[in-house]
């Protein structure tokens, strides 16, 4: 009898310890860093989205600061949504404040030359894990108001949608956009949080997803099919081996995007480490491409320029 009681007591104590470890482990899970931003279609309606061409390349110029000034309720709507996720324990980054800080920050010269889009600069400086892209339109009438909105959580590295809340036209007597949005986000929070948490767990465990473009400088008198030299293998094969070396351990091998030539090749679905443990921030495609740049220059005796821009878009250019 005493033996049974002793065994039962040990089992209970073990169960309590395991329960504590399970709860504690869950509590220690890293929450994704979020940033609420106005969607492009909202910026377009506010006349804050325009195409711009620089050096033959056309991109969209987003004037977020004008949007926050012209659309009075935009600031309150973004703040209300951010508050909902802050209550769930997610760290939040403020887009408007980040834009102001960006203007007063001396960005590294080669970065400034490459990154002409405000959002790209902010994302590279702040490096949120997920952006919450908000679009809404309030149509007022004498009897009721109708609010159409979409809130989409997107991976800031790949721009892929993780989870979304949408309403094609919510009828309400309320004309305060922030109030209506807060209610709708709260009503749909469980499913939204589930998507965010699963994505965060995947990224933390398996690494961030980036892509890499490798191209030759216009003046280069060699191409990717030629031998690197030290390795005795073509440049393309050498680069692929370096990707395998520096990618997240045990992750799948990257894919090669169709359309490759001797002058250009693109690798997709590359998993890179989640965090720079020394700098205590997320690793960008530019950071990661620097590892390849260093190795290629040493191994092949070529010049490699890192012209990566977006958080998840790596690009290196080879020349002699």
Q: For the residues of 140-190, what is the DSSP string, one character each?
A: --SS-EEEEEEEEEEETTT--EEEEEEEEEEEES---HHHHHHHHHHHTHH
Strand partners, 132: 36, 153
Alpha-carbon span 3 to 8, nearest angstrom: 9
- pLDDT grade, residue 29 (50/70/90)? low
Whether 115 has a pLDDT exceeding 70, the answer reads no
Spatial neighbors of 180 by CB under 8 A, at least 6 apart, are 147, 170, 172, 174
Alpha-carbon span 94 to 79, nearest angstrom: 9
Find, among 35, 42, 32, the residue nearest to 81 by Cα.
35
Do the Cβ atoms of 273 and 245 come closer than 8 Å? no
What length is written for the chain?
A: 320
CATH of 207-319, one of 3.30.1360, 1.10.3470, 3.40.50, 2.60.40: 3.30.1360
Second CATH level (architecture) for the domain 34-203:
3-Layer(aba) Sandwich (3.40)
pTM, to two decimals: 0.84
| pLDDT at residue 130 in the model | 98
For the chain, the domains span 34-203, 207-319
| pLDDT at residue 172 in the model | 78
């Amino acid at each position: 009898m005493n033996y049974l009681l002793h065994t039962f007591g040990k089992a209970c104590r073990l169960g309590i310890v395991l329960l504590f470890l399970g709860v504690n482990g869950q509590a220690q899970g890293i929450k994704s860093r979020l940033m609420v931003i106005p969607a492009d279609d909202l910026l377009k309606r506010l006349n804050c989205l325009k195409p711009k061409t620089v050096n033959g390349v056309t991109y969209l110029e987003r004037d977020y600061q004008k949007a926050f000034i012209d659309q009075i309720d935009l600031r309150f709507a973004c703040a209300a949504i951010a508050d909902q996720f802050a209550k769930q324990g997610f760290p939040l980054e403020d887009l408007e404040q980040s834009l102001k800080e960006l203007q007063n920050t001396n960005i590294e010269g080669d970065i400034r030359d490459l990154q002409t889009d405000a959002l790209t600069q902010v994302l590279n400086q702040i490096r949120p894990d997920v952006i919450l892209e908000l679009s809404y339109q309030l149509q007022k009438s004498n009897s009721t108001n109708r609010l159409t909105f979409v809130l989409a959580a997107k991976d800031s590295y790949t721009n892929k949608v993780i989870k979304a809340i949408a309403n094609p036209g919510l009828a309400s007597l309320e004309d305060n956009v922030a109030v209506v949005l807060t209610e709708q986000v709260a009503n749909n929070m469980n499913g939204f949080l589930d998507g965010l948490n699963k994505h965060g767990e995947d990224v933390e465990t398996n690494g961030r997803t980036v892509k890499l473009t490798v191209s030759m400088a216009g003046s280069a008198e060699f191409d990717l099919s030629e031998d690197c030299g030290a390795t005795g293998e073509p440049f393309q094969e050498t680069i692929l081996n370096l990707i395998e070396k520096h990618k997240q351990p045990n992750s799948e091998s990257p894919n090669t995007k169709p359309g490759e030539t001797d002058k250009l090749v693109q690798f997709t679905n590359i998993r890179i480490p989640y965090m720079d443990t020394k700098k205590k921030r997320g690793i960008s495609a530019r950071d990661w491409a620097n590892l390849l740049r260093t190795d290629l220059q040493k191994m092949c005796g070529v010049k490699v320029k890192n012209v990566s821009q977006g958080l998840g878009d790596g690009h290196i250019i080879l020349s002699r």
